[in-house]
Amino acid sequence: MSQSPDKFDAGHAPSESSVPIAVPGPATGAATAAVPVAVPGSAADTPPFSGTSPTDGPDVDSGATVEGTLRAKIGAVIVTKIVPMLAAVGKAILRVFSGIRHAFSRRWRTSLQFRTVVTTLLIASVAVVGVGGYLAGQISNGLFKERLAQAQQESARGATQVQDSFSNASLSDQPRVATYVGDTLRLLELGGADDSRKYLMVKIPGQNSRLAVSSSDSGGVTTAIIPDELRKAVQADPDSQFWQSISLPTGESGFNPAVVVGSQVELLRTNYELYMIYDLNSAQVTLNYIQSVLWLAGAILLVLIGAIAWYVTRTVVKPVSEAAAVSEKLAAGELEERMAVTGEDEMARLATSFNKMATSLQDQITALGTLSEMQQRFVSDVSHELRTPLTTVRMAAEVLYDAREDFDPINKRSSELLFHQVERFELLLADLLEISRFDAGVADLDAELLDIFSVIHSVIDGAMPVAEANKSELSVVTRLRNHKCVVEMDSRRIDRILRNLVLNALEHSEGNPVKIYVSADENAVAVAVRDYGIGMSPDAVGHVFDRFWRADSARARTTGGSGLGLSIAMEDARLHDGWLDAWGVPGEGSCFRLTLPRKRGTVLTHSPVPLPPDGGAAGSSSSLSTGPLLLTHTGSLGVVGALGSIKSVPESGKTQEQHGPESDDPGMNSSEKVNH
C-alpha cells in the first residue's frame, strides 16, 4: 500500500506534520438511555397522596422559616464582615502595587545602572524566548516526523503481512474466522519497535457475508477514537494508506498524543478497515524534558546576563556617581574634595582630569576671594580715611557758599560748584561705606511694625521736586482697604529702596506717568514702581543690580549717580528676606518690584503684584486705572491715586495730566535706564 496523505482529509494541508484533532468520547454518536434515579428528598421518595390530614404542613413552614433566617444571617455576615475585609485586602494590595510602581519609576528615573540592567534583561528575555521557542518547535517537529515515518513504515509492512495471511486463508465457519483474525492481528501488536502499538479492524459497512467479523481489537480500542475523516478516506480508497494525529485515552492519566494509520484489507471477499495506533507518549516525555532543559538554560542565561550587565554598568557608573558626588561637594564649597584614582584606564584618566580641574578651580576661587577681600578692604579703608578730610573740605565749602554774594561772578560760580560737588562726593562716600558694611556682614536690621504707606508718603513728598522738574505725574494704585498695610521692616532701609526706585523712574520717564502699585496678602506685600520711559533691554535687566554698572556711561555723566543705588537696594531687600525684581522693554518703559514678608521669618513663595503689574501695555492708556490689577484677600477695591497725585504745572498755569507716551512722542529715544 502506498501513502497518500492528499486523499484522506480535505481540512488538513498535505503535510506530514498534521495538527492533533480532539477525539470525541466513547459515547459519541450513540443514544443514551435516561435512567431515573431516586434522590433523597426528591419527589420520587414522597409517597402518593392518600387523603390523610395535612398535619405536617406547619412543620414544613417552620423549616422554611428557619432556613430563610439562617440564609439572612449568613448574608448579613457576608455584607458586614467579609465584604469590608475583602475591600480592605484589595486596597492593601493596590497600595502595595502602587508603592512598587512608584519605587520602580523613581529608580528608573534616578539610576542609570538600573535602567541599563532592566533594558538588557528585557532584550535578553525576548531573545531567549524567541530562540527557545524556535528550537522547541524544531525539535518537536523533528521528533514527530521521525516517529511518523517509523509508524508509516511499520504499518505498511504489517498491513502487507496481514493481507498475505488473509489471502492464503481457507475457512468455512464464522468462529474459526474470528479465531484466525484474532491470532493474525495479535502479531501486529508485537511487531512494532516498542510495545506501544495497538490495532483495530472493523468491517466496512454495507457487506453481508456470513463469515464476516464485525470488529477485532487489541483491547480498549474502539472506533470512537478513530476520526470520521480518516475512516471516510480509508473506506473510499482501498489501495492507499492514511494517517492522522489523535488523542489516545489512557484512563486515569487522561490522554496521550498518538498517530493512527489506516488502510484496507480483504478476507474471504469481505473488506475491512485496519487501523494501527501508535502511542507517542514516550516522544512527548522526551520533548517535555528537552523543553524544560531549554527553559532552565534560558533562565540561567538570563541570570548570568543580568549579573554581567550589573557588574559592567557598576564598573562604569560608579566612577561617574563618585564624580557627581564630588561635584556636588565642590559646588557646596568643599573645595578640598577629590576623586579617588585607581588604575590607568579611561575612568582613571577621567578622575585625574577631574581632580586637575577641581584644583584649578580651587586656586582661581581662592585668588578671586583674596582679590575680593583686598578690594573690599581697600574700599572700606579709603571710605573711612576720606571722611576726615572731606569733613574739613565741606566746612570750607559751606563758608565759601554762604559768602558767595560778596564774590565776583566767577568766584561765586566756583563756590557753588564746589559746594554741590562736595555734597555729591559725600553721598558717594556714604554709598561706599554702606557697601563695605554689607561686604563685611555687619549691616543690621532695625525692624519694627509700621504702615508701609507712611513710607510711601514720605517718598512721594521727597520726589515731588523731581516730578515737577521732569513734568511727570506720580500716582499710587492700590486695592488695599483703607490704604493701610502693617509690615515688620526697617523703615530707613525701605525708604531708601523706594526713594531710589521712584527717583530712578522719574529721571528716565521722559515726562510720562510713573505709577506705584501696592498690594498685599496674608504673607507678603509688594510695591512696584512702573514708568513708561525709555525702558531697558534684556541685557540691561540682567545687569541692572550690578555694582557700578551702567547701560550707557555717556548718559550717566548727565544724570549723575554712583551706580551703587540699585546694588544697595538689592542688599537692603535681601536683609529683609525679600525680593527685588526688574522688568523692562525698550520703548515701553520699565518696572521694579519690591516684595517683602509681612512678618520676619516668613519664606516668600510668591509676590502679590505681577511683573509688570499692568501687563506691559498700560503706557498708552488714557487713564491710570485701566491697567489690570491684582485682586488680594486683604481688602476691597480702592481708588487710583488714593495718596494724591503729583502733576506738572505748565507755564500757562493750567494743570494738565500726562498720560502714556504717544507714538509720535519726540522724547522717546533708544537710551536705557541706569542706576541712580
Question: Apex CA 122: angle with CA 317 and CA 93, to 5°?
Answer: 100
Distances, alpha carbon 20 to alpha carbons 328, 342, 492, in Å = 67, 64, 98
Per the model's pLDDT, the better-predicted residue between 320 and 34 turns out to be 320
pLDDT grade, residue 21 (50/70/90)? Answer: very low
Grid coordinates belonging to 235: 473506506
pLDDT grade, residue 553 (50/70/90)? Answer: low
Which range, of 12-16, 264-268, 379-383, 450-454, averages the lowest pLDDT?
12-16
Given a cut of 90, whether residue 673 has pLDDT beyond it is: no
> Distance (Å, rounded) from C-alpha 553 to C-alpha 71?
96
> Distance (Å, rounded) from C-alpha 110 to C-alpha 108?
6
Instruction: Name the residue type at position 318.
Output: K
Residue position matching grid coordinates 503729583:
646
> Distance (Å, rounded) from C-alpha 517 to C-alpha 641?
10
pLDDT grade, residue 242 (50/70/90)? Answer: very high
* Number of residues assigned to the chain: 676
Helix (H, G, I), strand (E, B) or coil at 169: coil
pLDDT tens digits, 342-393: 888 888 888 888 888 888 888 888 888 788 778 777 777 777 777 778 788 8
Which range, of 237-241, 388-392, 495-499, 628-632, averages the lowest pLDDT?
628-632
Q: What is the pLDDT of residue 194?
A: 53
Grid coordinates belonging to 623: 487713564
Q: How far is CA 389 from the centre of its chain?
A: 68
> Distance (Å, rounded) from C-alpha 534 to C-alpha 537?
10
> Distance (Å, rounded) from C-alpha 506 to C-alpha 642?
19
pLDDT grade, residue 473 (50/70/90)? Answer: confident
Contact 482, 447 (CB under 8 A): no
Q: Within a 10 A sphere around the Cβ of 244, how many other Cβ atoms?
A: 23
Per the model's pLDDT, the better-predicted residue between 666 and 323 turns out to be 323
Given a cut of 70, whether residue 555 has pLDDT beyond it is: no
> Distance (Å, rounded) from C-alpha 148 to C-alpha 156?
12
Identify which of 225, 284, 223, 286 has the alpha carbon closest to the alpha carbon of residue 256: 284
Q: What is the pLDDT of residue 368?
A: 84
Calculate mean pLDDT across residues 302-316.
90
Backbone angles phi, psi at 517, to 5 degrees: -95, 130
pLDDT tens digits, 182-201: 888 888 776 555 556 888 89
Given a cut of 70, whether residue 648 has pLDDT beyond it is: no
> Distance (Å, rounded) from C-alpha 578 to C-alpha 571?
10
Q: What is the pLDDT of residue 62?
A: 55
Q: Regarding beta strands 2-3 and 240-249, do their DSSP bridges make them parallel or antiparallel, or are they unpaired?
A: parallel
Calculate mean pLDDT across residues 247-262.
84
> Distance (Å, rounded) from C-alpha 317 to C-alpha 104?
19
The percentage of residues in the chain with a pLDDT greater than 90, rounded to a whole number, is 10
Contact 243, 18 (CB under 8 A): yes
> Distance (Å, rounded) from C-alpha 607 to C-alpha 67?
72
Q: What is the pLDDT of residue 248?
A: 85
Q: What spatial distance separates the first Cα and last Cα of the chain, rounded to whole Å?
A: 115
- Strands, E assignment, 375-513: 448-451, 474-478, 486-489
Contact 304, 103 (CB under 8 A): no
Residue position matching grid coordinates 459497512:
205
Per the model's pLDDT, the better-predicted residue between 331 and 58 turns out to be 331
Calculate mean pLDDT across residues 277-295.
89
Backbone angles phi, psi at 641, to 5 degrees: 70, 35
pLDDT grade, residue 73 (50/70/90)? Answer: confident
Beta bridge partners of 144: none
